[in-house]
A and B are shown apart, each in its own frame.
Chain A
Amino acid sequence: MTLLIDTYTMWLREILRYKRNWRYLGFQFLFPFMIIVLLGFGFGDLINLGQNISYIDFISSGFIVFMIANGGLGGGFNLIEERNNGFLREVIVAPVSRASIILGKIAGRATLSTAQVIVLVLVLSTMANLSLRNFHITLLSLILMTVLFVCVGVIIAAYFQEAEIYRTIQGMVVFPLMFISGIFFPIDRLPLWLKWISYVNPITYAVELFRFSVLGRNTLPIWISTTLLVVLSTSTFFLSVWLFDRKFRE
């Protein structure tokens, strides 16, 4: 019970911060929309996917995953900032469980992502085949992704103090993984060795599940993607809580 109350408190602050920062908020909706339109219509003709699917359908469902994943990592980045500007101490010495601190970050991110997904899918549905008809699965994949990426962010933040290093890791490890996860190109077009990497890449399964929910397309059985994501996100969650208690105090 107290876990829920504390999570709510942490969530409330995240929401207040979003509300005060309307410029950031506007950008969060505008930027993905611009990219999707640019890639989908600008480059769409260069990439022929066949199988009666247009590139705008493909990239819009994929790029939303990119956006959610990136936002989740931003939650971890946020912890580095909060540690450096001192605020994190206020939370660390409060009588609240460590899990609620991370859950609050996840909940805040998930709220923003949900709003982004609803708005983007509704707007894009006028120009592509996306829809919210499987909204429960959309929501499930969104939550699992947010848990996974916020916690990966926390784990990275636990080991690195500087924002620059964090961004380097994001650029050198996470972005390449996103490129071979089926966000921008179908996996079956990749060379064999990259295909294998993409199958051990958790983002692949997030893309699978999300694309299935908004587009009704999948290349792997859905239960496999779902199970893998559930297992991965819960284990990274527990790892991040454990690390948070050990690494953020000293």
Chain B
Amino acid sequence: MPPAIILKGVTKRFRKNKKEFTAVDNISLEIPRGKIFGLLGPNGAGKTTTISMICTLLTPTKGKILLEGIDVTKDTLEARKRIGLVFQETTLDLELTGRQNLDFHARLFKIDNRKRKVDEALELVGLTKDADVTVRQYSGGMKRRLEISRAIIHEPAMILLDEPTLGLDPVSRRGIWEYINMLIERKNVTVLLTTHYLEEAERLCSRIAIIDKGKVVVQGTPEALKAKIGNDIIILSLKRDDPKLAARLREMKGVKRVVRENGDLFLYVKDVDKTIVPLMKLFSEAQVSGLQIKRPSLDDVFFHYTGHKYEDAAEPERKVNA
């Protein structure tokens, strides 16, 4: 089957502080059908800009976006019908009730059996009881659930979620994850979500693309990405910096890479069980103050491919409307 979404060399430039600024830089992606695909990146990486171009809110400066073969800049209305959206910031009408918000949406998309579909959507996200309360009185989690139900009411082929759990407490976050998983199980839809939470990408997505400064750094399944940079990491805390030890460790069988950082040695190894015993023989207690074993995380994947730490990569938080 052809991919659900194809991005070819997509670029978006803005004028920012009187200068040209490339927010999305020549991104090419193929998003397969029927799966949850994650765009993972720190704040300011260009995730929202990418989603906005896919959903026709922004026009790419360069490049092409195809949704099931439809060019979004040429056949905009057709593209819009195929997308369900949950934006980073709420787009609900706070003065209306949950039900009225869904009804409005259903009318905009001219769906049949509107009343039944609205009831079903409310039921699905557990908002039947609060359906006739103004959205202004909803909690953050309820709003997000309502937006998810609204995004699927017109049965779109693909659902785009921009930071679906941003600003939610851990319990609500887990709830939203369940609903997102449910979307995939119920119908043959494609989900594209963005997140800056590493854990979220790892738990939820069957494939991810890591983006940083507007570029796709690497993509694949979370497992494959982690496996690629070494299956496990051994961290040796040295009492003092020792280049000779680092060199010897590099020679060892099963060690893929050794990185020195602040007096720590990071050993990327294939299999920690086979390496640890021979490793112990290479140094004495006098040299090493601590030893830690870590399975690599997406954090490490990010560091490996970008050369900087994930938490340092974020732009300072922009002011957002409450």
Contacts and interface: CB of A to CB of B under 8 A. Distances in A.
Interface in B106-133: 107-110
A93 B96 contact: no
Contact of A92 (B57, B100, B104, B107): B57
A17 B96 contact: yes
A196 interface: no
A90 to B, nearest CB: 4
A93 B85 contact: yes
A94 B91 CA distance: 12
Contact of A87 (B58, B80, B85, B92): B92
A86 interface: yes
B321 A13 contact: no
Interface stretch (A4-12, A136-144, A201-209, A229-237): A4-12
Contacts of B104: 9, 12-13
B89 A93 contact: no
Contacts, number: 68
B77 interface: yes
A92 B134 CA distance: 22
A89 B108 contact: no
Given A13-B96, A13-B104, A94-B108, A89 B57 contact: yes
Nearest to A21: B95
Contact of A96 (B83, B95, B108): B108
Interface string A50-88: 000000000000000000000000000000000011111
B256 interface: no
Contact of A84 (B58, B96, B108, B321): B321
A154 B93 CA distance: 19
A183 to B, nearest CB: 31
A23 interface: no
A95 B81 contact: yes
Interface residues on B, range: 20 to 34
Contacts of B96: 13, 16-17, 20
A85 B96 CA distance: 14
B90 A91 contact: no
A90 B91 contact: yes
Interface residues on A, range: 20 to 34
B6 interface: no
Contact of B56 (A17, A88, A93): A93
Of A21, A85, A90, the most chain B CB neighbours within 10 A belong to A90
Contacts of B134: 20
A91 B58 CA distance: 14
B59 interface: yes
Interface string B59-81: 10000000000000000011011
A95 B94 contact: no
Contacts of B321: 84-86
A249 interface: yes
A250 interface: yes
Contacts of B78: 95
Nearest to A89: B91
A94 B80 contact: yes
Given A93-B80, A93-B85, A85 B94 contact: yes
Contacts of A94: 80, 105, 108-109
Contacts of A16: 96, 100
Interface of A: 2, 5-6, 9, 12-13, 16-17, 20-21, 84-96, 249-250
Q: Which 10 A-B pairs have the closest CB atoms?
A: A94-B108, A9-B107, A90-B91, A95-B80, A89-B91, A86-B91, A95-B77, A95-B81, A86-B89, A87-B93
Interface of B: 55-59, 77-78, 80-81, 83, 85, 87, 89-96, 100, 104-105, 107-110, 134, 321
